[in-house]
Amino acid sequence: MNAGEDVSENSTVNEPVKVAVLGAHGRMGSEAVRAVDNAKDADLVCTLDHRDSLQQLVVSGAQVAIDLTVPSATEDNVRFCVAHGIHCVVGTTGWDDERLARLEQLLSEHPGVGVLIAPNFSIGAVLAMRFSAVAAKFFESAEVIELHHPNKVDAPSGTAARTAALIAQARQDAGLGPSPDSTETDPDGARGAKVDGVSVHSVRLRGLVAHQETLLGNEGEMLTIKHDSFDRISFMSGVLLGVRTVGSRPGLTHGLEHFMDLDA
């Protein structure tokens, strides 16, 4: 679905879904405000940023909140929404296993509410993650390189961490051990961060938006799975797919792929 298309699955017949955007002045938030504004069957009822009261979500009657804030704020925001029966579409990073477990517990106490945690909303990035997981078991070595704009506050990126976790799971399922690596000394972390044993390398460079490469190696060959977001518009069809679908998917959904027909 493209930005501007129908997002009415959450709403009663012909009633637009009422949407709030948290982090509305940010790079992603401002793009999401535009996307929701342009969507025929979504009503932007509330925009919040730093230090705004979450009570405005309740007063506005928002049915779905889109969280595009910062890792330090997103958990409290989402917990508030769930407690008030507001579905959430979350793009903010920082959702580690502990946070996800706490959220699942809270959601079990609010069984009608749906939350989508999407490490990446771009269709290409979702596919690149899936392709990386599918390919992982066929290669002896696997590493991930993510490249982003220098204003990004967290490393590695949420997408890279998720990709590495999926690769690690696929390798484990296939009975593969760690990637071969004879490094004996690495005082400054030149071999990258380890996510579930998979090396992830982070680049921050002026001019970039969001880019990632999965490198998979065997003797005599390398497969590179590469994705580039050149513009934040690339995330908006996924944001709207989340808004359209989340109300009909109670509980926690981790990854936009679960709202897509990847295996059809």
Ligand X SMILES: O=C(O)C1=N[C@H](C(=O)O)C[C@H](O)C1
Which are the catalytic amino acids?
Answer: 148, 152
Q: Applying CB under 6 A, does 35 fall inside the site for ligand NDP?
A: no
Q: How far is CA 101 from CA 27, 97, 141, in A?
A: 28, 6, 31
**Is residue 26 near ligand NDP by the rule CB under 6 A?**
yes
| Interface of this chain with ligand X, residues 98 to 137, rule: CB under 6 A | 119-120
Q: Does 25 bind ligand NDP (CB under 6 A)?
A: yes
Piece of 55-63, 157-165, 195-203, 215-223 that binds ligand X (CB under 6 A): 157-165
What, of ligand NDP, ligand X, none, does residue 50 touch, CB below 5 to 8 Å by kind? ligand NDP
What's the longest Cα–Cα distance across the chain?
Answer: 64
Known binder of ligand: residue 61? no
Residue 22's binding partner out of ligand NDP, ligand X, none, with CB under 5 to 8 Å set by partner kind? ligand NDP
| Residue 254 binds ligand X, judged by CB under 6 A | no
Cβ distance to ligand X smaller for residue 21 or 45: 21
Between the two ends of the chain, the Cα-to-Cα distance in Å is: 16
Which member of 18, 79, 148, 171 binds ligand X (CB under 6 A)? 148
CA 235 to chain centre: 10
Q: What binding mask, one character per residue, do residues 141-160 give for ligand NDP by CB under 6 A, x or -?
A: -----------------x--
Q: Decide if residue 158 touches ligand X (CB under 6 A).
A: yes
Q: Does residue 258 belong to the site contacting ligand NDP (CB under 6 A)?
A: no
From candidates 170, 198, 210, 215, binder to ligand X by CB under 6 A: 210
Q: Please tell me whether 20 is known to bind a ligand.
A: no
What is the phi/psi pair of residue 223, to 5°?
A: -110, 130
Cβ-based nearer residue to ligand X, 60 or 122 = 122
**242 forms part of the interface with ligand NDP (CB under 6 A):** no
**What's the chain look like in SS3?**
CCCCCCCHHHCCCCCCEEEEEECCCCHHHHHHHHHHHHCCCEEEEEEECCCCCCHHHHHHCCCEEEECCCHHHHHHHHHHHHHCCCEEEECCCCCCHHHHHHHHHHHHHCCCCEEEECCCCCHHHHHHHHHHHHHHCCCCEEEEEEEECCCCCCCCCHHHHHHHHHHHHHHHHCCCCCCCCCCCCCCCCCCCEEECCEEEEEEECCCCCEEEEEEEEECCEEEEEEEEECCHHHHHHHHHHHHHHHHHCCEEEECHHHHCCCCC
Residue 148: contacted member of ligand NDP, ligand X, none (CB under 5 to 8 Å, by partner type): ligand X
Among 11, 64, 121, 165, binds ligand NDP (CB under 6 A): 121
Binding-site size for ligand NDP (CB under 6 A) equals 25
Task: Based on the shown chain and the rule CB under 6 A, indicate whether residue 212 belongs to the binding site for ligand NDP.
Answer: no
Q: Which residues bind ligand X (CB under 6 A)?
A: 93, 119-120, 148, 152, 157-159, 210
Q: Which residues does the annotation place in the binding site?
A: 23-28, 51, 91-93, 118-121, 149, 158-159
